[in-house]
Amino acid sequence: MRARIWAVWLAAPAALAAACDGSSAPPGTDTTEPPVEVCNGRDDDGDGACDETFECCAGSYVPCAVACGVTGWRPCTNDCRVAVEEECRLPAEACNGEDDDCDGDVDEAPECRGRWLWLNPLPTWAHLQAVSLAPDGTALVGGAGGVFARWDGAQWHALASPTTADIRGIAGYGTDFTVAVAADGSILRLGPSGWLALPVRAPAGLHAVWVHADGDAVDFALAVGQRGAILRWNGANWATMISGTAEDLWAVWGAGPDEAFAAGAHRTLLRWDGTGWSVEQPFTDQGWFEGIWGSGGDDVYAVGRDGWVVHFDGARWERRAVPTTNDLWDVWGRGPDDVWVAGDSGTLLHWNGAAWSAVDASAGTAGFRGLAGLAAGEIWAVGQHGTVVRDAGAGWESLTRGPTDDLEAIVRAPGGGFLAVGSHADSALNLQTSVLFGSDDGWRADPGTIRGQFHGVWAAADDAVWAVGPAGLVRRWDGARWTTETVPARVDFHAVWGLARDHVLVAGAGGMLLRWDGATWSRIELPVEEDLYAIDGLGADDVWLAGDGGTIVHGDGTGWLARATGTRIRFRALAVVSPSCVFAAGEQPGTRTGSGAGAVVRWDGARWIRDAGLFPTPWTGLVALSPTDAYAAAGSAVWHFDGLLWTALAPTGVDRTLTARLFRDLTLDAERRVVTVGHRGAVLRWDPGL
């Protein structure tokens, strides 16, 4: 189902509102008493809620349930009433493994076929769950959202992935049979052209994989997963095995093709003798085992939740006391007297043959999820938020690469590189400006920071860049250094855009608009006083501004005219395609219980058309290639418009607690692919054809 309903919003005079939401009170109003909330799609009384004394916020969309069980939406009318007489409208298809639009198909939208590729920081700040090392010191890591990256001994390289399912295990790197297993039950193999999904799938999710190599050739492999699933590779194909248990299995390791062990839920332990699996459950505790490894069939360790470590001596399993009660997720070692265990909150334990000790790997509170090492070399641990640490003999070091400043805006310079701006906190927790330069060689932070933060950036050339921020902050880059501009206003600036190095516009609070003519800054009077957050245009005679309270202003080269949208959307982004195609997006005013939803309107040359959709989060960035090909950044997602409807792109796999500011702004690279920036230095590229 690919249908779209557009709501046409006619220009209408907006009601006067209270000063607390940025507009002026009517003359003569006694502002010592809070104003009364009225139905107008805005927060009149300044309490953070829109039309809270009515059924709903005028002009917003209200969730409702449709027959197939998904959440749809109904509009809130201009008199603040839920339009119950209207059928609950179906949502657009999302790339989430569900049939969102109730048409019987799952993830059928073209947007679900693309993949995100991490550019910074590397390898990722999605959770990592798997690592495999090659004898030459190179490594592969994998994790949430299907992310893969390769360490070449000096730097990281993001790898395209055929899945968005979490990567739970990788094995065999450095042999002719490098495989990975995913949470959707798929098995992937690394070939000369990258990762490929094999034509075999477990009936449920897979959690771990182990391979046995004879030199560089793998002749035996095992993959384990949910509901007791075990698959065996015999050198030619994969086949399902009878495990004898229905418990979820989370770990597998073998001493050889005729002796292997698996561990999982409810302290389940399995043993393979070359002919069949036997189930062993010597412990009555209801916890889970998460990792297993041994130096031989008579020296095997299994680790799990609540600090459990058990040891098998060839005859029986016994619990071992360790100095932690944290959940433990993996175990690996070089021999009976050199065993490592990793777990939550940066837990790293070492067994030296006589005692267990805690080791500080300087990973902070990030939990470890995977371990791997070389018999005569280094050991690695990977985990939450893209954590990668390594001990190559000189102590533990972090292998995360790239700056982690919070980014708000990005621009591609005419020379082909990127500049992203935002902020970071110094040692005293004061905000400092941040500038990141990006290229094919990676991303680096510019050290020339000052107190404050940047909200917008625009480049006329590689040696002519402007960045803006609060309290009148305007900085210019000349290709070698940044200088602070003296401007005739000290308001908060939110946007900068221009036509050339001698024609630059800066917009901000209170309807402030400044122009740089190559010699001086001057103020341009506008017919609005609302805060402005976005600028875009096609030329000096076709410039658009957008901001709070549904404000949009157009400049035709002779003057400026407010274009009433009939909405109270807090516009944060603009994309001008042609005089008859302009996108404006932002936030529909919310309620006390949370931020407003996303909202987008489109100018068709005669009127504003609002997309009647339910978008969960505010939109902060826009880029449009054509009237039928536009993208919007919305915090936790990026949406694509195909001329008919907006669809959220495939997810990144980043933990939902971190995604609220993952996508703040976006632009296009030289190949017209979308590049996004956001929180903690996140820079990602969308590859639609992977």
Give every CB contact of residue 241 below 8 A, 6+ residues apart in sequence: 230, 231, 232, 277
Cis? peptide before 121, omega within 30° of 0: yes
* CA–centroid distance for 350 within its chain: 34
Q: How far apart are the first and last CA of the chain?
A: 23
- Fold (CATH) for 453-658: Methylamine Dehydrogenase; Chain H (2.130.10)
Strands 238-241 and 230-233: antiparallel
Helix, strand, or coil (residue 77): coil
Q: Over 90: is that where the pLDDT of 362 sits?
A: no
* 8 Å CB contact between 491 and 510: yes
**Given pLDDT bands bounded at 50, 70 and 90, which one contains residue 595?**
low
* CA–centroid distance for 548 within its chain: 27
pLDDT digits (tens, 9 = 90+) for 581-593: 999 999 988 654 4
CA–CA distance, 267 with 287 (Å, rounded to integer):
6
Residue with more model confidence, 491 or 447:
491
How many residues belong to the chain? 690
CA–CA distance, 549 with 112 (Å, rounded to integer):
34
- Report in angstroms the alpha-carbon separations of 218 from 76, 211, 214, 236: 62, 7, 6, 10
Q: What is the mean pLDDT of residues 492-498?
A: 99
Q: Enter the tokens of residue 55.
A: 């059924």
Q: Taking the domains of the chain in order of start, what are their residue ranges?
A: 37-112, 453-658
Query: Residue 222: which of 475, 234, 32 has the closest Cα?
Result: 234
CA–CA distance, 633 with 645 (Å, rounded to integer):
15
Given this model, what pLDDT does residue 32 score?
53
* 8 Å CB contact between 289 and 252: no
pLDDT digits (tens, 9 = 90+) for 546-557: 999 999 999 999
Average pLDDT over the chain, rounded to whole?
90
Q: Which residues of 494-532 are buried (b: 16+ CB within 10 A; e: fewer)?
A: bbbbbeebeebbbbbbebbbbebeeeebeeeebebbbbb
CB atoms within 10 A of CB 215: 8
Bridge partners of 296, per DSSP, are 299
pTM of this structure: 0.85
pLDDT digits (tens, 9 = 90+) for 383-402: 999 999 999 989 999 999 99
Q: Enter the tokens of residue 43.
A: 């927060």
Q: Over 70: is that where the pLDDT of 24 sits?
A: no
CA angle 165, 171, 172 (to 5 degrees): 135
Q: Enter the tokens of residue 315.
A: 């005859």
pLDDT digits (tens, 9 = 90+) for 138-177: 999 999 989 999 999 999 999 999 998 999 999 999 998 9
* CA–centroid distance for 593 within its chain: 23
Dihedral of the alpha carbons of 285, 290, 291, 297, in degrees to the nearest 10: 40
CA–CA distance, 173 with 138 (Å, rounded to integer):
9
- Report in angstroms the alpha-carbon separations of 507 from 77, 187, 344, 389: 33, 52, 47, 44
